[in-house]
Amino acid sequence: MSGCTPWGKFTDRSVTELCRHAVTAALAGAGVSWRDIGAVAAASSRFSGGKGWGLNGNDIVEDMGSTGIPVFNMSAGCAAGGNAFNIGYSLVAGGQYDMVLVVGGEKMPKGFIQTSGVEEETDPEFLRQRCVGMPGPSFWALLCRQRMAEFGTTEEQLAKVAVKAHDIAKHNENARFRQEFTMEQVLESAMVSDPLRLYEICPVSDGAAAAVICSAEKARQIGGDPVWVAGSAVATARFDDGLPRGLAGIVPDGKAHHSEAAEAVRKALAQAGAEPTDLDFVELQDNTVYYELAFPEDWGLCEPGEAEHLLEAGETMPTGRMPINPSGGFLCFGEATTAMGVFQVCELTWQLRGQAGARQVPGASLALAQTLGLGGNGTALVLKR
């Protein structure tokens, strides 16, 4: 079972308090107590409060009760939540623990997400952001421009992704941005990095999410309505993917951007014994509208250049044949970096159990979640009923 806080900006609540809310909800939903937890896999970062040093899991254990259980603090940028889930799943699947808590919580600083924060001239990320002047939105804008040149993607189609996301998120009580937008409102929003506008990129948010993973035998003892892990994978970027890595690189033709994501998805689907077209829906990391068009093609959900046509036909809505982000996605939640992969577990669980209300994907029984993090980190998981 899983639980999460609503996403937002909470000046009066600490990250530990947000995590407590999510953990308590997950424990209650599973019908277990804190003392039943054998280990904690926590998504951690340098942004949040508490001890710092990426020790979010230790803060949570001290807050919930110091029972002596082991804590695994995982740092993988925006992929930390998916990374922590993979560790939690591995600990249970390997027989080390009957029950593991996976948790991620974040309070994000204002403005563009920075990397190390250290002015180190040998650090490629420092050089990219401070010398080249390329924070996230500028990088995404270049990807958009490449797609527009290759497939004829229009600014109206980019805007339509945002319109679709908000049309769904109005039904999600945990989403931060639930207002509907018209095409005109999106296209008239402030230009951030041409061609990307304000409503076409995700902001930063605060939030927390948690999930309880247990063995099949433990699940039978507890009862309830479990959702099963069919596959969980972690990967890092390949040297020959579609993006130059480091300070220089040769970009091969025909290679997927973000090989870390494509490889993690491939591995998770292989573990599940499934093909991309077997999936009933996908929760993917849409830091910007571009990814909702590009990722399904990279992973084999549709043909290259087909994503815009599926969007226009309404096929990416919860009732379409290729539903994408029936939660509303990062665009409508805002990114609480380390919590996002665990929030996706919550959404998959609710959808697979038929508890998503007006945004429900009809008859969903197999679903994929994907995250992408700084350092070339990628994760994917497949859940099933």
Please state the rounded mean pLDDT for residues 2-16. 92
Q: Give the pLDDT score at 183.
A: 97
What was the pLDDT predicted at 158?
98
Beta strand 191-193 with 196-197 is antiparallel
Is residue 129 predicted with pLDDT exceeding 80?
A: no
Structure tokens at 14: 């600490």
Taking 80 as the threshold, does the pLDDT of residue 181 lie above it?
yes
- E strands, 62-190, are 71-74, 99-107
Confidence of residue 89 (pLDDT cuts 50, 70, 90): very high
Quick: pLDDT tens for 14-54.
Answer: 999 999 999 999 999 999 999 999 999 999 876 665 676 78
Q: What percent of the chain has pLDDT over 70?
A: 89
Q: Give the model's confidence band at 92: pLDDT under 50 very low, under 70 low, under 90 confident, else very high.
A: very high
Q: What is the dihedral of CA 142, 143, 145, 148, to 10 degrees?
A: 180
pTM for this model (two decimals): 0.92
With a CB cutoff of 8 Å and minimum separation 6, the contacts of 34 are 23, 27, 64, 65, 67
- pLDDT confidence of residue 249: 47
CA distance 244 to 247: 8
Residue located via tokens 């699940």:
219
Give the per-residue pLDDT at 115.
58
* Domain ranges for the chain: 2-110+199-384
> Given this model, what pLDDT does residue 9 score?
95
pLDDT in tens, 243-256: 755 444 445 555 67
- Give the pLDDT score at 77: 87
**Residue 47 pLDDT:** 63
Q: What is the mean pLDDT of the chain?
A: 91
The H-or-E segment that residue 41 falls in is strand 39-43
pLDDT of residue 135: 77
More confident residue, 123 or 213: 213
Find the mean pLDDT for residues 178-196.
96
pLDDT at 121 over 90: no
Tell me which CATH homologous superfamily contains domain 2-110+199-384: Thiolase/Chalcone synthase (3.40.47.10)
Q: Please report which confidence band the pLDDT of residue 131 belongs to, taking 50, 70 and 90 as the band edges.
A: low
Does residue 339 have a pLDDT over 90? yes
Q: Average pLDDT of 211-217?
A: 96
Confidence of residue 109 (pLDDT cuts 50, 70, 90): confident
User: What is the predicted pLDDT for the residue at 137?
Assistant: 87
In whole angstroms, how far apart are CA 22 and each of 19, 61, 112, 193? 5, 13, 26, 35
Least confident stretch, 122-126, 181-185, 274-278, 307-311: 122-126
pLDDT of 385 strictly over 60 = yes
Q: Provide the percentage of residues in the chain whose pLDDT is more than 90.
A: 78
Please compute the mean of the pLDDT values over residues 225-239 and round it to a whole number: 93
Q: Pairing between strand 2-4 and 206-214?
A: antiparallel
C-alpha to C-alpha distance for 220 and 225, rounded to whole angstroms: 10
DSSP-derived pairing of the beta strands 39-43 and 71-74: parallel
Q: Which two tokens stand for residue 116?
A: 């190390």
